[in-house]
């Protein structure tokens, strides 16, 4: 690790932080200490960073806003890569080219101000563009797959290529990138539609009010824990029918407001949250013979 750090600094590839608690970088507000977090200053610096990681045989993880990630409480011995500097955004009529590190919520707001419709579903998803494409984030019967035209990625052999929507294999809460995590999303071109600003902003306002009323936004969480088994079968309803609302494990709780949210209610550890997720998953399987799929990514639990 020391050789990597020295080399990274020598090449002036971007900012670097040492011995960082990952709880500062995830929406669950849990996670062990990372050896270092790097912030490459541009795509060229990212390529050089990835080459150094490979040269020194280090583990690495690209992290967006940490809004769909559960790190263990153990130290993370490797390099966390943050793409905050890949945040350029440019609108061209009804299209937008945007860097992977840009906020999805902020982009939805910018699109609305330009009377562009198609991103309303994303106005409450607290992730980055890269993370949203990776997970094919969605809500209200829409997702990134409907609006992504192309994505520029860094391949495992350090080539920068462009993938089309078809090549990205978007399906419900999954994508090519999720199945090939060694590819790194760099930027995307999204295709939106012309609309009317008042109508777009009204939809976003109504959905914001609905989220406040139905989701436990006052506590750290990572959004919905489980995918819906079927369109007409919400995971939260299944969990609620089992009587698991309010169930706790240490400082973690199955939200009383929305059963598909697990919240960090009282200084939970990552293990509290992890164990509660698995308990709920197993309880549903035992009672209903339905295997819920976990939306969130578990990191460093080996």
pLDDT > 90? residue 215: yes
Query: What's the pLDDT at 268?
Result: 98
Is residue 109 flagged as an active site residue? no
Q: What mean pLDDT do residues 166-193 have?
A: 95
What percent of the residues of the chain are helix, what percent strand, and what percent coil, each to the nearest 5?
30, 30, 40
Out of 173, 175, 253, 255, pick the active-site residue.
Answer: 173
Radius of gyration, alpha carbons of the chain: 20
* Cα separation, 67 vs 131, whole angstroms: 9
Q: Which of 100, 180, 109, 108 is nearest to 133 (CA)?
A: 100
Confidence of residue 48 (pLDDT cuts 50, 70, 90): very high
Query: What's the pLDDT at 199?
Result: 97
Mean per-residue pLDDT of the chain: 96
Is residue 271 flagged as an active site residue? no
Is residue 224 flagged as an active site residue? yes
pLDDT > 90? residue 140: no
CB 258 within 8 A of CB 215: yes
Q: Give me the residues paired with residue 71 across strands.
A: 299
Query: What's the pLDDT at 280?
Result: 98
Topology annotation, domain 216-299: 3.90.78
Domain ranges of the chain: 2-82, 89-199, 216-299
Out of 224, 253, 255, 269, pick the active-site residue.
Answer: 224
Query: What's the pLDDT at 232?
Result: 84
- Which CATH number is 89-199 given? 3.30.465.10
> Of all residues in the chain, what percent carry a pLDDT higher than 90?
93
Torsions phi, psi of 155, nearest 5? -85, 165
Q: Answer whether CATH 3.60.15.10 is correct for domain 2-82.
A: no
Query: What's the pLDDT at 193?
Result: 97
Query: What's the pLDDT at 231?
Result: 79
> Of all residues in the chain, what percent carry a pLDDT higher than 70?
100
Q: Which of 146, 223, 137, 135 is nearest to 179 (CA)?
A: 135
């Amino acid at each position: 690790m020391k050789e990597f750090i020295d080399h990274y600094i020598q090449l002036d590839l971007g900012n670097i932080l040492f011995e960082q608690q990952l709880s500062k970088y995830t929406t669950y507000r849990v996670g062990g200490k990372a050896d270092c977090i790097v912030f490459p200053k541009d795509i060229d610096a990212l390529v050089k960073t990835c080459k150094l990681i490979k040269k020194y045989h280090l583990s690495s993880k690209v992290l967006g806003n940490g809004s769909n990630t559960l790190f263990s409480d153990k130290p993370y011995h490797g390099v966390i890569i943050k793409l905050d500097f890949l945040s350029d955004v440019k609108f061209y009529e009804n299209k937008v080219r945007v860097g992977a590190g840009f906020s999805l919520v902020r982009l939805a707001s910018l699109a609305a101000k330009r009377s562009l419709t198609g991103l309303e579903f994303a106005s409450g998803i607290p992730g980055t563009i890269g993370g949203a494409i990776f997970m094919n984030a969605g809500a209200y019967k829409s997702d990134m797959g409907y609006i992504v035209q192309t994505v520029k990625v860094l391949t495992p052999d350090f080539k920068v290529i462009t993938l089309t929507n078809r090549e990205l294999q978007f399906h419900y809460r999954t994508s090519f990138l999720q199945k090939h995590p060694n590819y790194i999303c760099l930027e995307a071109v999204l295709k939106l539609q012309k609309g009317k600003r008042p109508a777009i902003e009204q939809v976003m306002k109504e959905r914001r009010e609905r989220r406040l009323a139905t989701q436990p936004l006052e506590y750290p969480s990572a959004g919905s824990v489980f995918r819906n088994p079927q369109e007409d079968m919400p995971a939260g309803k299944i969990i609620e029918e089992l009587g698991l609302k309010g169930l706790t494990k240490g400082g973690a709780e199955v939200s009383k407001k929305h059963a598909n949210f697990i919240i960090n209610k009282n200084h939970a550890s990552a293990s509290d949250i992890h164990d509660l997720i698995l308990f709920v998953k197993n309880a549903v399987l035992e009672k209903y013979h339905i295997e819920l799929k976990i939306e969130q990514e578990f990191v460093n639990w080996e």
